[in-house]
């Protein structure tokens, strides 16, 4: 079985633990629950199925029942906090602590760099822009950005992008991307990218007045949907985004950085039988 440090979902870890014990010999949910101090013989099964949550009070008992101690127990505690948290700041704190524990014990599990990369437009924009400007100084790069950024900020962003592996330095003031597109762990990104969505939406609002109609392309439609239509449209937008990336990647002579926002959201409550749901 994999180390607990290689997991991000405590439900999955507990299920894998149970499956491994079951494979090695006689083991039941009743025995698992009893060893962790639960009177219900199926409670931990419900936890693994996502139908119940593991409370902070019982985390230590469950960890000991699975033979976890020291930093492994600490990691498991943070994983439970992360999995149960509803607020982004709580999730982020737990995820970063998981990262710290994992790195301290030579295992990289979660992509904490995603938090910094998506906290400002500067990181993704400069990652695209800098390879187009070999030999440019931070001041030159800053001058090409429509949003305000200082030369010092450009220098700091470049240092981070290289250190985190988003860019590689090919020579004096010459950079290239390490990957065509940037992705992060599915656990980290939903938290990290929320602030980016807000920032890019504000930039789009400013673009309405900043650029003439032939320099930008804005379109939108207001429509009625049901849940099935909503899900189909959301998938279509995701597919469109992938096709757009594919088109952009066909060209090697890029000379400008642009941003596309897909925004599809409710503007009314749900109506069922003519009444508010």
Tens-binned pLDDT, residue by residue, of the chain (277 aa): 788 988 999 999 999 999 999 988 889 999 999 999 999 999 999 999 999 999 999 999 999 999 898 889 999 999 999 999 999 999 999 998 998 888 777 654 446 666 788 888 999 999 999 999 999 999 999 999 999 999 999 999 999 999 888 899 998 999 998 865 665 555 666 766 787 888 899 999 999 999 999 999 999 999 999 999 999 998 898 888 878 887 887 888 899 999 999 889 998 888 887 666 6
Alpha carbons 274 and 258: distance in angstroms, whole number: 43
HSE, side-chain direction, 13 A CA sphere, residue 275: 2
Complete DSSP assignment for 47-96:
HHTTSS---HHHHHHHHHHTT--THHHHHHHHHHHHHH--SHHHHHHHHH
Give, in degrees to the nearest 5, the angle at Cα 87 between 84 and 91. 60
Residue 270 has a pLDDT of: 86
Flag whether the pTM goes above 0.85.
no
HSE, side-chain direction, 13 A CA sphere, residue 132: 16
User: Are 83 and 187 contacting, i.e. CB atoms less than 8 angstroms apart?
Assistant: no
Residue 217 has a pLDDT of: 93
Find the radius of gyration of the CA atoms of the chain.
Answer: 24
**DSSP secondary structure code for residue 110 in this structure:** S
Q: What is the largest CA-CA distance in the chain?
A: 72
Q: Is the Cα torsion angle 235, 237, 240, 245 positive or negative in sign?
A: negative
**Tokens at residue 138, please?**
């931070």
The domains located in the chain, with CATH, are 4-110 (1.10.260)
């Amino acid at each position: 079985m994999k180390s607990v440090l290689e997991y991000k979902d405590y439900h999955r870890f507990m299920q894998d633990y149970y499956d491994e014990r079951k494979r090695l010999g006689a083991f039941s949910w009743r025995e698992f629950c009893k060893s962790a101090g639960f009177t219900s013989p199926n409670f931990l099964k419900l936890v693994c199925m996502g139908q119940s949550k593991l409370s902070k009070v019982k985390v230590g008992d469950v960890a000991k029942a699975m033979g976890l101690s020291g930093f492994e127990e600490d990691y498991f505690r943070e994983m439970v906090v992360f999995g149960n948290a509803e607020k982004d700041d709580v999730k982020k704190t737990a995820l970063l602590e998981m990262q710290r524990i994992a790195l301290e014990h030579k295992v990289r599990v979660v992509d904490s760099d995603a938090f910094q990369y998506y906290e400002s437009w500067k990181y993704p924009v400069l990652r695209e822009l800098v390879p187009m400007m070999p030999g440019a100084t931070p001041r030159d790069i800053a001058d090409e950005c429509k949003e305000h950024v200082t030369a010092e900020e450009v220098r700091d962003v470049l240092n981070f992008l290289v250190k985190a592996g988003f860019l590689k330095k090919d020579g004096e003031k010459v950079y290239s991307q390490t990957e065509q597109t940037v992705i992060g762990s599915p656990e980290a990104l939903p938290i990290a990218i929320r602030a980016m969505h807000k920032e890019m939406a504000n930039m789009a609002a400013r673009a309405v007045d900043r650029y003439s109609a032939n320099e930008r392309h804005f379109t939108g439609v207001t429509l009625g949907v049901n849940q099935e239509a909503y899900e189909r449209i959301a998938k279509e937008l995701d597919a469109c985004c992938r096709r757009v990336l594919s088109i952009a990647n066909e060209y090697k002579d890029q000379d400008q950085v642009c941003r596309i926002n897909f925004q599809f959201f409710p503007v009314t409550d749900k109506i069922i039988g003519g009444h508010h749901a």
